Structure 1
Amino acid sequence: MSLTIQHLPEQSRFQAVIDGHTCLIEYRLDNNVMHVLHTLVPKEVGGRGIAAEMTRFALETASNNNWRVHPVCSYTVAYLKRHPEYTNVI
């Protein structure tokens, strides 16, 4: 799946609109540490890999900006366990 994901730094979030439903990842940036707080994919569009693609995008953004990632969100914690290629950001 290829999503159009927006990084909205002024709102501290990443978002994609799928079939009229807003999917998002909320974070807080503190001294170059991105605290990933919450991942939301409405049930109407769930099961399509949206959270995974958005999390990958968020982690790539962190890596490209030399940010460390502190995963508060349980989904992000699980994603990082399944994707050791992102250990460079935690």
Structure 2
Amino acid sequence: MNTSSPDLAVSDNADQNRFELRLNGDLVGILGYYDFERAPSPNPPVVDFMHTVIVEDFGHRGLAAVLVGGSLDLARSRGWRVRPVCTYVQRFLSSHENYRDVVVALEPPRTEPKRTETQRTEPQRKENRRRQPQRKMPARKA
């Protein structure tokens, strides 16, 4: 009877901008991140967690939670702040309050105010002219 537990490890592959989950040495999942704020700053760096992927054959085993939890632990140990762009990371955080200190809130999507006719670009004005019905000119008398 085999009673050994699987060897799970989360590591940072900084060259690829991702955390990797390995099961018994085999890569089974990644969490891609992006650091928009690389410039030196007195504030901790904010890193966006973009996307979580688990190899299909290893799905539905709780490995995504292991990957996200391990990634958040590594981020915390480095003094990073995390912006959870990935919807799986967002769901994970909603039930794991112990990571609240690491999380930066997502900014609401920016909406542009509606442009007035004077603010529209030339291609937009041309498109609007094409949409307007053409008026027929009265015939000239000879």
- Tell me if both proteins adopt one fold, taking TM over 0.5 as the criterion: yes
Are 2:95 and 1:89 equivalent residues in the alignment?
no
Are 2:16 and 1:11 equivalent residues in the alignment?
yes
Contact 2:10 2:19 survives alignment (8 Å): yes
Are 2:58 and 1:45 equivalent residues in the alignment?
yes
**C-alpha displacement of 1:43:** 2.1
Q: How does 1:6-85 map to 2 (within 5 A)?
A: 6-18=11-23, 22-31=28-37, 32-85=45-98
Higher helix share: 1
5+ residue gaps, structure 1, are: none
Contact 1:33 1:69 survives alignment (8 Å): yes
TM-score by length of 1: 0.88
Higher strand share: 1
**C-alpha displacement of 1:15:** 1.1
Q: Which amino acid aligns with 1:84?
A: E
Q: 1 or 2 for the larger relative contact order (CA 8 Å, sep ≥6)?
A: 1
Contact 1:13 1:27 survives alignment (8 Å): yes
Rg: which structure is higher?
Answer: 2
5+ residue gaps, structure 2, are: 1-5, 38-44, 104-142
Distance in 2 between residues matched to 1:4 and 1:21, nearest whole Å: 10
Q: Which shifted more, 15-24 or 64-73?
A: 15-24
TM-score by length of 2: 0.58
**C-alpha displacement of 1:16:** 2.3
Contact 1:21 1:45 survives alignment (8 Å): no
Distance in 2 between residues matched to 1:3 and 1:21, nearest whole Å: 10
Distance in 2 between residues matched to 1:89 and 1:5, nearest whole Å: 18
Q: State percent identity of aligned pairs.
A: 29
Distance in 2 between residues matched to 1:52 and 1:15, nearest whole Å: 13
